[in-house]
Amino acid sequence: MNGNRRVVVTGVGLVSPLGIGTEETWRGLLAGRSGAAPITLFDASRHATRFACEVKGFDPLDWIEKKQVKKMDRFIQFALAASEMALEDAALPVPIADAERMGVIIGSGIGGFATIAREHEALLRGGPRRISPFFIPAVIINLAAGWVSIRTGAKGPNSATCTACTSGAHAIGDSYRLIQHGDTDAMITGGAEAAVTALGVGGFCSMRALSTRNDEPERASRPFDRDRDGFVIGEGAGILVLEELEHARRRGARILCEIVGYGMSGDAYHISAPSEDGDGAIRVMRAALTDAGVEPSAIDYINVHGTSTPRGDAGETIAMKAVFGEHAHEMSVSSTKSMIGHLLGASGGVEAGLTALAIRDQAVPPTINLENPDPECDLDYVPNHSRKLDVRYALSNSFGFGGTNGALLFKRLED
């Protein structure tokens, strides 16, 4: 194939701190609700940060047989639940009919953190014989895709991305390319993460990357605000069903939007900090625009990376100004991390799904807690309240530790 096949989004499945379900999450975002609260998954009393954006009320038995639950970490459970939602949203029955023409790519930045910690304790307590035989397949990152493939019967390309906080975006972009080039007709793709653990939160606290606004967690994630002091860690999964356009049309699928551009870049700068001049972010957005053959002035909305870190938000603003010029002040841009926190490797999958929903409903979610705008951050961040918007083209940005970047460009289907 020559790579000219068109790719559309036909399903979205979300497990998030605002709800176990796509529409519940979307309603919460449009209402400007925060998912941040004191940590309940472990005793955080000795941690500098004692709150997070946890997925609340998730029971894996609602999605997975009891005998299988113990074989998988929480991030895999999230991926399975979100995949089932996405397939239901796409009206694709399981098992998959044309199994060899549907694949799975699901990313995660960290994988089975909670299970690693638990099994390490078992080793220290009772020696190697106490380690579960399910330990390794429960924690390795590609088993999210593996389990989804097993449960759906999808026999096409099966892979995983592990590119820190860009994992979900890269999974979707790689899936888009596979369909474009004819390797498959449909993909189940996105990201999943469950790193709200004593070790995960403790590690980010040691880096001084997290907000320490323990007295008011719902106001802690405040991208582009002058008083931001770090990100709020979250967990969850975002899974999309992508299909070749004619494949979707033949089966009468409802199409949410088209994916028309994918960009990748590397900062070559620092293990965790973005370059101050926004170089990697500039090049990744330009790459997505070039891939789509779209002028910067065509973009209506960007779901920004917007983590609520001092350097990250300022650098992304600089990058948007460099790419879009005067049009940067005319676009609507917002950070949904202000409400759901930073889902690490799942963030790109969740945020891509939210961007698709923004096109579907012609509405964009707000950046909440934007009370005292940083003078360096002077774009239209949709402060505090969602808005109706004519969205034809929308971009979703993801940037990760190690300087790995991804951008996905979506378009309203018009023909």
| 97 CB burial (10 A radius; 0-12, 13-18, 19+) | exposed
Catalytic residue among 53, 162, 165, 205: 165
- Is residue 162 flagged as an active site residue? no
For residues 57 and 95, the answer to whether their CB atoms sit within 8 Å is no
Our answer to whether residue 385 is catalytic in this structure is no
Alpha-carbon Rg for the chain, nearest whole angstrom, is: 20
d(CA 399, CA 160): 17
Task: Check: CB of residue 298 under 8 Å from CB of residue 205.
Answer: no
Alpha carbon of 285 to those of 256, 278, 319, 322, 397: distances in Å? 22, 11, 9, 10, 8
Residue 305 annotated to the active site: yes
User: Which 3-state string (H, E, C) describes the chain?
Assistant: CCCCCCEEEEEEEEEECCEECHHHHHHHHHCCCCCCEECCCCCCCCCCCCEEECCCCCCHHHCCCHHHHCCCCHHHHHHHHHHHHHHHHCCCCCCCCCHHHEEEEEECCCCCHHHHHHHHHHHHHHCHHHCCCCHHHHHCCCHHHHHHHHHHCCCCCEECCCCHHHHHHHHHHHHHHHHHCCCCCEEEEEEEECCCCHHHHHHHHHCCCECCCCCCHHHCCCCCECCCCCECEECEEEEEEEEEHHHHHHCCCCCCEEEEEEEEEECCCCCCCCCCCCHHHHHHHHHHHHHHCCCHHHCCEEECCCCCCHHHHHHHHHHHHHHHHHHHHCCEEECCHHHHCECHHHHHHHHHHHHHHHHHHCEECCECCCCCECCCCCCCCCECCCEECCCCEEEEEEEECCCEEEEEEEECCCC
Catalytic choice (170, 205, 342, 377): 342
In our burial notation (b when 16+ CB lie closer than 10 A, e otherwise), range 291-302 reads bbebebeebbbb
Active site residues: 165, 305, 342
